Structure 1
Amino acid sequence: MVIEPKTQALPDHTQLPESDGTFVKNFQEHPQSILLTDSIQPRLQEIQPDGQYCIGQDCGIYWRMTDPPERGAEAPDWFYVPNVPPTLNGEIRRSYVLWQELIAPLIVLEFLSGNGEEERDNTPYQGKFWIYEQVIRPAFYGIYEVKKASVEVYRWVAGRYERMSPNERGHYPIAPMGVELGIWRGYYLNAQLPWLRWWDEAGNLLLTGEERAEAERQRAEAERQRAEAERQRAEAERQRAETAQQENARLREQLRALGVDPNALS
């Protein structure tokens, strides 16, 4: 008698819960995620023109099987994964399942609402910091605290996270993406706050679509004003030349009236 081995297929993103029933902790987290995603898209299209990447915003990353299943997931406020299709098997992802995808996020960001104890918890198999460092292993892990207008960034090196030091601009270089991460104080979506934002490697702020549109509007308006100033300059020059021509004609007529041939004076 041949006994067939029993196999148990691991669940995929369509079979695992997409939520644990909790909700976003404050009103700043959602616009913060939108700001990060909106402004980084043109840069990602440059470095990955094939479009093979995905961005998660408060989405679960499943790293082990548990009962209930959602206890085996962490849900970063924002993360980016390169070299994966934007959809999975033609479907929008309900979650990111490590045993199905195999590729770890490049960067994970957490936005603090409390004192940061949860995000820095290094308890094996339970603490967020331990899970990110030892299991999920994103190359960069950022902890952003709006109340303190600060962000701390860790880089995965030789099996552990090392806290990074900011550069001369106070930013943290994320070299694989060709960007820097830091704090920007400004107005966004009806709120004046110290927002978490991206810059390019030269220190230029990466703009949102609305900011790019406004910058283009200002550029077009400046060009319109420059063209109008040039038109007015040309019109003033034309009028000056016309006035000079009329004055020259008047003087020639006066010379003729005095019996002097103006051509003889040339």
Structure 2
Amino acid sequence: MLDYSLLQNLPTAKDLPDSDDTPVDNELQNYIPNLLKSILAMIWSDRFDWYFGVDMGIYYDPDKSAIVPDGFLSVGVPRIIDENLRLSYVLWEEKRVPILVLEVVSQTRRGEYTAKKELYQNLGIQYYVIYNPQRKRKPRLEVYSLENEQYVLLGNESPIWLEEIGLGIGKEVGTYEQITREWLYWYDENGERFLTPEERSRQAESKAQQAESKAQQAESKAERYARRLRELGIDPDSL
């Protein structure tokens, strides 16, 4: 990575394009990182030192176009910089490379296993996650970790623990926005999957219904008890 301190008059995020204007060719390239982002927003709701970008340009060289992963996580940066939010992620402004990048492979390959992998490695990004839902025989999920400036495959058994982040990442069949298929999720150190916002909402609604049902049952039981006391000539209000 360039030593930005040696360069003069570096452009700011406002000076740079906020997109490469390349449309995604598979909806999963948006759905999957947005699901991970929404889960992270709940489990790290009390933290403000992280940022998860979706389809956002990462500027690493003032003389080159941005690289645009499907998703990336940076830790140790402000989650919100101002009311206008981030236009792009500019390394010489953020002063911290993302700790994780995610690429979702579609039918049109974009160098996920070659050029992008090499670039992310050279930038010093700790974890590189590749998810290829098209694969039938080879592993669909691969997670690489940077060791001695080289990417090493951590494995493809889901979930895979990311020590530097304190979370695991893995794949599992579930339902998101009424779509049932295999998705990527975050996991805790025990391999337990964190719930999605939809699942938490349904869980809370179910608990509320159960509590209401128990309250109604208790009220009904109390009414039957009071009625029985009256039949015996006892005023329940005097007890």
User: TM-score w.r.t. structure 2 length?
Assistant: 0.83
Deviations along 1:73-107, one digit per CA (max 9) or x if unpaired, are 21111111111123447753221112222211111
Please say if residues 31 and 189 of structure 1, whose CA atoms lie closer than 8 Å, have aligned partners that are also in contact.
no
Please say if residues 50 and 77 of structure 2, whose CA atoms lie closer than 8 Å, have aligned partners that are also in contact.
yes
Q: Secondary structure at the match of 2:15?
A: coil
Correspondence for 2:186 among 198, 204, 214: 198
Q: How does 1:239-250 map to 2 (within 5 A)?
A: 239-243=227-231, 245=232
Partner residue of 1:146?
Answer: 133
Q: Secondary structure at the match of 1:74?
A: coil
Partner residue of 1:85?
Answer: 78
Distance 1:98 1:202, change over 3 A: same
Q: Secondary structure at the match of 1:226?
A: helix
Partner residue of 2:120?
Answer: 132
Number of positions where the alignment pairs a residue of Structure 1 with one of Structure 2: 225
- RMSD of aligned residue pairs (Cα, Å): 2.5
What amino acid sits opposite 1:61 in the alignment? Answer: I
Residue 224 in 1 paired to residue 212 in 2?
yes
Using the alignment, how far apart are the partners of 2:69 and 2:50 within structure 1? 17
Residue 65 in 1 paired to residue 66 in 2?
no
Please say if residues 107 and 134 of structure 2, whose CA atoms lie closer than 8 Å, have aligned partners that are also in contact.
no
Partner residue of 2:34?
Answer: 34
Unaligned runs of 5+ in 1: 1-6, 122-126, 247-266
Deviations along 1:155-176, one digit per CA (max 9) or x if unpaired, are 1112111111256xx2011234
Using the alignment, how far apart are the partners of 2:220 and 2:230 within structure 1? 15
Q: Secondary structure at the match of 1:103?
A: coil
Deviations along 1:8-61, one digit per CA (max 9) or x if unpaired, are 412121112222221112122222222111111122234x3xx12221101111
Shift of residue 147 of structure 1?
3.0
Deviations along 1:179-212, one digit per CA (max 9) or x if unpaired, are 2111121222232221111122233332233322
Correspondence for 1:104 among 97, 104, 125: 97
Residue 165 in 1 paired to residue 158 in 2?
no
Using the alignment, how far apart are the partners of 2:203 and 2:80 within structure 1? 32
Q: Secondary structure at the match of 1:180?
A: strand
Correspondence for 2:195 among 207, 221, 239: 207
Please say if residues 44 and 177 of structure 1, whose CA atoms lie closer than 8 Å, have aligned partners that are also in contact.
no
Distance 1:223 1:142, change over 3 A: same
Q: Secondary structure at the match of 2:187?
A: strand
Using the alignment, how far apart are the partners of 1:54 and 1:240 within structure 2? 63
Using the alignment, how far apart are the partners of 2:42 and 2:19 within structure 1? 30
Distance 1:177 1:240, change over 3 A: farther
What amino acid sits opposite 2:142 in the alignment? Answer: E
- Structure with greater helix share of residues: 1
Please say if residues 52 and 71 of structure 2, whose CA atoms lie closer than 8 Å, have aligned partners that are also in contact.
yes
Greater Rg, structure 1 or structure 2? 1
Please say if residues 141 and 156 of structure 2, whose CA atoms lie closer than 8 Å, have aligned partners that are also in contact.
no
Q: Secondary structure at the match of 1:92?
A: coil
Distance 1:89 1:41, change over 3 A: closer
